[in-house]
Amino acid sequence: MHHSTPPGKLRTICKLIAQAVFYAIWNERNKRLHTSVARPLQLITKEIKIILKAKLYGMDQNIRNNNRLNSIRHNTIDTYLHSWFQHFSL
What lies within 8 Å, CB to CB, of 43 at 6+ separation is none
Give a yes or no: residue 1 inside a domain.
Answer: no
Higher pLDDT, 68 or 3: 68
Q: Which band of pLDDT confidence, cut at 50, 70 and 90, is reported for residue 2?
A: very low
Number of compact structural domains in the chain: 1
CA distances from 82 to 10, 39, 53, 67 (A): 11, 30, 10, 18
Which residues, at least 6 apart from 44, have a Cβ–Cβ distance to it below 8 Å? Answer: 24, 28
Res. 7 pLDDT band, cuts 50 70 90: confident
- Owning domain of residue 75: 7-87
Residue 24 located in a structural domain: yes
Under the banding of pLDDT at 50, 70 and 90, the label for residue 20 is very high
Q: Are 53 and 81 in contact (CB under 8 A)?
A: yes
pLDDT at 34: 95
Is 63 contained in some domain? yes
Residue 2 forms part of a structural domain: no
Question: pTM of this prediction?
Answer: 0.76
Q: Tell me: the pLDDT tens digits for 39-78?
A: 999 999 999 999 999 999 999 998 888 777 666 665 556 8
